[in-house]
Amino acid sequence: MDISVGDELAGRIYMELYADVVPKTAENFRQFCTGEFRLGSTPKGYRDCKFHRIVKSFIVQGGDFLNSNGTGSMCIYRDPNSGKLLERFPDESEGLNLNHDRAGILSMANSGPNTNGSQFFITTMPCPTLDRKHVVFGKIVENLSEVGESASTPSLDVVRKIESVMTDQMDRPLQ
């Protein structure tokens, strides 16, 4: 995931998704990362999406590509009966059993149980208070040989650049 801070490219965040543990959550995130998910012919996803909530020494949160302020959410899944696109999808219990035990954990942002959509966060330190409340679906990868690419800036350093952005009293970035 390529990240800019302001108008400057901060670097790329490499991620490992736990598709074997939480396949629906990982696939939802993957399709929004690649732009593969479309409404009609229009791709929907994280391209040009900002991190709308930055809580220092806790998390950076993004994924609201609908409203850019934390109020928008959607997912790739449809109601099996009506075919209507769903805003949210249920928790995968295996992901609730994984811990937010270090910086670089990828997890679903939610407004309560079974309210996963497009919003996600990355921890910037261990956050045990989030355990069993948010589905963990991946982690930041620092060993780039795992993904077969090289980077000039390590992934966690890119997350730290996001975290260093000035925010207002509501944790919204000022740039």
Extract the tokens encoding 172: 């919204």
Q: Kindly name the residue from 28, 31, 37, 61 that is annotated as catalytic.
A: 61
Which residue reads 């690419």 in tokens?
Answer: 149
Active site annotation includes 53: yes
Q: Kindly name the residue from 53, 65, 98, 120 that is annotated as catalytic.
A: 53
Q: Kindly name the residue from 88, 130, 144, 172 that is annotated as catalytic.
A: 130
Active site annotation includes 58: yes
168, amino acid identity: D
**Residue (of 151, 147, 110, 149) closest to 130 by Cα position:** 110
Give, as one character, the DSSP assignment of residue 84. P
Active site annotation includes 175: no
Q: Kindly name the residue from 58, 66, 102, 144 that is annotated as catalytic.
A: 58
Helix (H, G, I), strand (E, B) or coil at 32: helix
CA 47 to centroid of chain Cα atoms: 12
Active site annotation includes 110: yes
CA 103 to centroid of chain Cα atoms: 14
Residue pair 165/175 in contact (Cβ under 8 Å)? The answer is yes
Active site annotation includes 61: yes
Q: Kindly name the residue from 30, 52, 100, 134 that is annotated as catalytic.
A: 134
Q: Kindly name the residue from 32, 65, 120, 121 that is annotated as catalytic.
A: 121
What is the CB-side half-sphere exposure of residue 55 using CA atoms within 13 A?
Answer: 10
Which residues are catalytic, by number?
Answer: 53, 58, 61, 110, 121, 130, 134
